[in-house]
Structure 1
Amino acid sequence: MTGEITKEAVEAVLLRARERSTLLTDCVDDTELIAQHSPLMSPLVWDLAHIGNQEELWLVRDVGGRDPVRSDIDELYDAFKHSRSSRPTLPLLNPAEAREYVRTVRGKVWDVLEASTFGRTELDVDGFAFGMIAQHEQQHAETMLATHQLRSGPTALVATPAPQAARMPELDEVTIAAGPFVMGTDDEPWALDNERTAHQVYLTDFAIDRFPVTNGQFVEFIEDGGYSRPELWSRDGWRHRVDAKLRAPLFWEHDSSGWWHETFGVEAPVPPDKPVVHVSYYEAEAYASWAGKRLPTEVEWEKAARWDSESGRSRRFPWGDVSADENLANLGQRHLGPAGVGSYPAGASAAGVEQLIGDVWEWTSSGFHPYPGFRAFPYREYSEVFFGGDYKVLRGGSFGTDSVACRGTFRNWDHPIRRQIFSGFRCARTISGRP
């Protein structure tokens, strides 16, 4: 979102988020909504009411200064007080109550939006709080989409059109020249605290894959014994591979006819030309070692995505400053999976690197740490409490990420063992000096 933030634009992103949340919860019955489909995930009905509760806290009570709708449920829907695995045991709102709650909250939000001046408080400048809530709902929508992938039985989601046909590109790499670039942002109005502040970083030259690693390439790794060769894995990665009995990406199976995968309840042969998805950081790291490369650092990924050496500036997106559309990236659950590599040539970065936005979240080798000048805003629990630890940064968004929650500076993070997320990767290579 650039330029002047209008109330019409805010209304549009809030409506789009709610339409998606409704789709993901209305497509299953109440039994499915209250069930926990994996200990890694909340019941769908918890996500729905949590979305409403965050909207109430920040927009109705804080920005709007209105009386609470349901202050009695704040603790139930506090993500830091209850682990995902424990949430089914809580006295949660039932599906009908949750739907009524989010409708009531949203009605009050429209009143708050109408009265807002987009500047009364820091939280309200440029409609930041509204943008934060739209992003929050879309992030939970992607989490709910991942829950649908973990459900047993047939898909409840309506089949979407296949992504546009891909050209057959050469799976080569792009060299990024040495030099400084500006990482992060100071002027993206809805950027979250961990994306700030803008700061200059110097990198020596490096090479990065033009495309994410494909299923076909990953099959080569498997068939060359990649899961049985400890020398390819880090110590922690090999320990996890053995303990978790990893032998292929999540949802993959093998029979006499080859590799198959299940996507939202539908079984199909693994398509060789599409980016591999549902792999952990450790699997990505092992593949990169097998390929004689490594994973890119977060800084390398962002320079490859944003830096335009001709203009001497960092772009909002790889292709420029305009928001994504269906010709530039595979975002917003328009398709229920990644597109084949080469599908979005118009979305290439200035350096010629493609599909950096959408399709699959890309693991980087970097831990999650604050930028220089970081300031927690508007609350510590969004970013600050996660800094350090074993978290690895992912970049670029997936086919399940909405455009409001994805840009060249956006940072995601997760534990290196996670595979239920829509995660893939691309490789990089040091050319000279220190990366």
Structure 2
Amino acid sequence: MKAETAILDPLSEPYPSPDLTSPASLLGQYQSVRAYTEALCKPLQVEDYIPQPVEFISPPKWHLAHTTWFFEEFVLCKYQPGYQKYHADFSYLFNSYYNHVGTRVLRTDRGNITRPGVEEIYAYRRYVDEAAHALLSREVSAELEEVVVLGLNHEQQHQELLITDLKYILGHNPVFPVYREGFSLTEVANQESGFVSVKEGLYDIGFTGEGFCYDNELGRHKVYLEAFDISKALVTNGEYLEFMNDGGYGRFELWLEEGWQWVNESQARAPLYWHHIEDDWYCYTLSGLQKVAPDSILCHINFYEASAFAEWKKMRLPTEFEWEVASSRLRWGERWEWTNSAYLPYPRFSKAPGAIGEYNGKFMCNQMVLRGASTATSPNHSRATYRNFFHPPLQWQCTGIRLVQ
């Protein structure tokens, strides 16, 4: 069963459960999702909206603008007769990777977009939201509803990215500023222990039923699995400290070759945001610098670290198929969990025509699948068939480890 995820929500109420059966409910969901994004930004100072310390991080201002551009480009320009774009340059500035739409700013240059300023980006959001309100207040076709629901899920993805990108920005500030008291995201403990046994056999994999899913979850198919035991608990900080104290980052035999290269090039000796201060380990959280809590679930490790730890424990990471089959008997949702599966298409996978088809399919190379959700994931945004994916060296998401024996 899915866990009651310990999401520290900056809004007083979580999202309502999706109910897209009428135009009014679709409009309400649109308003809720859009408001949540802005609520996440309320604790920010204006300077926090701008920095881009590394290529894979996007500034909060860019997230606000890009999610707005998505609705303008794919909803309003197509379905709202007579709609006038807010600004001719915004598609160039805030398109992410949609080649069908046209040229765009390089990802590395997002932090250089100091203008338009933050106030104008919020004005842009208001302009688009007013037009969307008018559109969604009328009868909505099935085609339009499908695109709007995709846009809402797209914005929820960016809400999680906004939080984790912001943590990277603030976590590299030398004074470790507080984003919001009590908003650490990492102080979560396991509620269960032991292992779940899964019998060998044929199992169905992939999304089925009603409701939204991404195209990379489709193509339900059968896989054969050998019998396995999967841990009910995720790896904790204390367990990972044992790995570190046993020389884990210095033992080449534990690491994949690319992982060992990463260790030597990055000089990594601990998870992201951990700092060794006066013979003790501290970690940066969005509520400030805190001592590493041994019982809390490990966070911010990459695939290479997860694989090396599993080797040290003489166990392994689950495949994404093993994870999905076992998920109904596991408590999950505190961390995105690395699997040992490459991100590849399911049988019968096909990309949608045009720009929407660029959403997932073209990234099916050199990335590993993560399953579950995390404390940074927006409410009502994950499911057992959800396939997240990142490159193996990346640590900045709320990632953890579940082991198989």
TM-score, normalised with respect to structure 2: 0.86
Contact 1:149 1:265 in 2 (8 A): no
Query: Which residue number corresponds to residue 221 of structure 2?
Result: 199
> Is residue 2:370 matched to residue 1:394?
yes
* Corresponding pairs, count: 375
Q: CA deviation at 1:82?
A: 3.3
> Is residue 2:92 matched to residue 1:116?
no
- Distance of aligned partners of 1:83 and 1:405 in 2 relative to their CA distance in 1, 3 Å threshold: farther
Deviation track 1:40-83 (CA, whole Å, cap 9, x = no partner) reads 31221111111110011122123445523236121211112434
- Give the secondary-structure state (helix, strand or coil) at the position aligned to 2:315: coil
- Give the secondary-structure state (helix, strand or coil) at the position aligned to 1:53: helix
Deviation track 1:150-200 (CA, whole Å, cap 9, x = no partner) reads 212412324359999967643x22111112222112434311111112222
Following the alignment from structure 1 to structure 2, what is the Cα–Cα distance between the partners of residues 161 and 289? 29
Q: CA deviation at 1:37?
A: 4.2
Query: Which residue number corresponds to residue 384 of structure 1?
Result: 361
- Distance of aligned partners of 1:117 and 1:273 in 2 relative to their CA distance in 1, 3 Å threshold: same
Contact 2:368 2:391 in 1 (8 A): yes
Following the alignment from structure 2 to structure 1, what is the Cα–Cα distance between the partners of residues 361 and 191? 43
> Is residue 2:47 matched to residue 1:25?
no
Query: Which residue number corresponds to residue 313 of structure 1?
Result: none
Query: Which residue number corresponds to residue 183 of structure 1?
Result: 205
Deviation track 1:375-427 (CA, whole Å, cap 9, x = no partner) reads 21362221111012x10111111101113321111111111000111111211
- Distance of aligned partners of 1:264 and 1:2 in 2 relative to their CA distance in 1, 3 Å threshold: closer
With a CA cutoff of 8 Å and minimum separation of 6, indicate the structure with the bigger relative contact order: 2
Query: Which residue number corresponds to residue 296 of structure 2?
Result: 274
Query: Which residue number corresponds to residue 237 of structure 1?
Result: 259
> Is residue 2:343 matched to residue 1:368?
yes
The structure 2 residue matched to 1:215, chosen from 237, 240, 243, is 237
Following the alignment from structure 2 to structure 1, what is the Cα–Cα distance between the partners of residues 93 and 305? 36
Following the alignment from structure 1 to structure 2, what is the Cα–Cα distance between the partners of residues 275 and 69? 46
- Give the secondary-structure state (helix, strand or coil) at the position aligned to 2:223: strand
| Contiguous gaps of at least 5 residues in structure 1 | 306-348, 430-435
Amino acid at match of 1:59: V
Q: CA deviation at 1:221?
A: 0.8
Query: Which residue number corresponds to residue 68 of structure 2?
Result: 52
The 5-angstrom pairing of residues 57-76 of structure 1 reads 57-70=73-86, 72=88, 73-76=90-93
Following the alignment from structure 2 to structure 1, what is the Cα–Cα distance between the partners of residues 347 and 231? 28
Q: CA deviation at 1:13?
A: 3.1
Following the alignment from structure 2 to structure 1, what is the Cα–Cα distance between the partners of residues 39 and 236? 30
Following the alignment from structure 1 to structure 2, what is the Cα–Cα distance between the partners of residues 198 and 100? 43
> Is residue 2:380 matched to residue 1:404?
yes
Following the alignment from structure 1 to structure 2, what is the Cα–Cα distance between the partners of residues 372 and 96? 46
The structure 2 residue matched to 1:288, chosen from 310, 320, 325, is 310
154-163 or 288-297, which deviates more: 154-163
Deviation track 1:97-131 (CA, whole Å, cap 9, x = no partner) reads 10011111111112221223342x3xx3xx32222
28-37 or 223-232, which deviates more: 28-37
Amino acid at match of 1:117: V
CA RMSD of aligned residues (A): 2.4
- Give the secondary-structure state (helix, strand or coil) at the position aligned to 2:148: helix
Contact 2:272 2:301 in 1 (8 A): yes
Contact 1:186 1:198 in 2 (8 A): yes
> Is residue 2:151 matched to residue 1:133?
yes
Amino acid at match of 2:119: A
Amino acid at match of 1:108: A
- Distance of aligned partners of 1:262 and 1:8 in 2 relative to their CA distance in 1, 3 Å threshold: same
Query: Which residue number corresponds to residue 325 of structure 1?
Result: none
> Is residue 2:116 matched to residue 1:99?
no
Deviation track 1:290-331 (CA, whole Å, cap 9, x = no partner) reads 0011111111111111xxxxxxxxxxxxxxxxxxxxxxxxxx
- Give the secondary-structure state (helix, strand or coil) at the position aligned to 1:115: coil
152-161 or 68-77, which deviates more: 152-161
Query: Which residue number corresponds to residue 105 of structure 2?
Result: 82
Following the alignment from structure 1 to structure 2, what is the Cα–Cα distance between the partners of residues 285 and 65? 52
- Give the secondary-structure state (helix, strand or coil) at the position aligned to 2:92: coil
- Distance of aligned partners of 1:84 and 1:25 in 2 relative to their CA distance in 1, 3 Å threshold: farther
Following the alignment from structure 1 to structure 2, what is the Cα–Cα distance between the partners of residues 136 and 187? 21
Following the alignment from structure 2 to structure 1, what is the Cα–Cα distance between the partners of residues 322 and 138? 43
Following the alignment from structure 1 to structure 2, what is the Cα–Cα distance between the partners of residues 91 and 274? 38
- Distance of aligned partners of 1:112 and 1:295 in 2 relative to their CA distance in 1, 3 Å threshold: same
The 5-angstrom pairing of residues 307-346 of structure 1 reads none
- Give the secondary-structure state (helix, strand or coil) at the position aligned to 1:260: strand
Contact 1:233 1:285 in 2 (8 A): yes
- Give the secondary-structure state (helix, strand or coil) at the position aligned to 2:389: strand
Query: Which residue number corresponds to residue 418 of structure 1?
Result: 394
Following the alignment from structure 1 to structure 2, what is the Cα–Cα distance between the partners of residues 422 and 165? 12
Contact 1:261 1:267 in 2 (8 A): yes
| Contiguous gaps of at least 5 residues in structure 2 | 1-16, 98-103
- Give the secondary-structure state (helix, strand or coil) at the position aligned to 1:394: strand
Following the alignment from structure 1 to structure 2, what is the Cα–Cα distance between the partners of residues 169 and 193? 33
Following the alignment from structure 1 to structure 2, what is the Cα–Cα distance between the partners of residues 85 and 132? 26
Contact 2:336 2:373 in 1 (8 A): yes
Amino acid at match of 1:267: L
- Distance of aligned partners of 1:66 and 1:176 in 2 relative to their CA distance in 1, 3 Å threshold: farther
Amino acid at match of 2:343: F
Following the alignment from structure 2 to structure 1, what is the Cα–Cα distance between the partners of residues 74 and 264? 44
- Give the secondary-structure state (helix, strand or coil) at the position aligned to 2:380: helix
The structure 1 residue matched to 2:273, chosen from 231, 244, 251, is 251
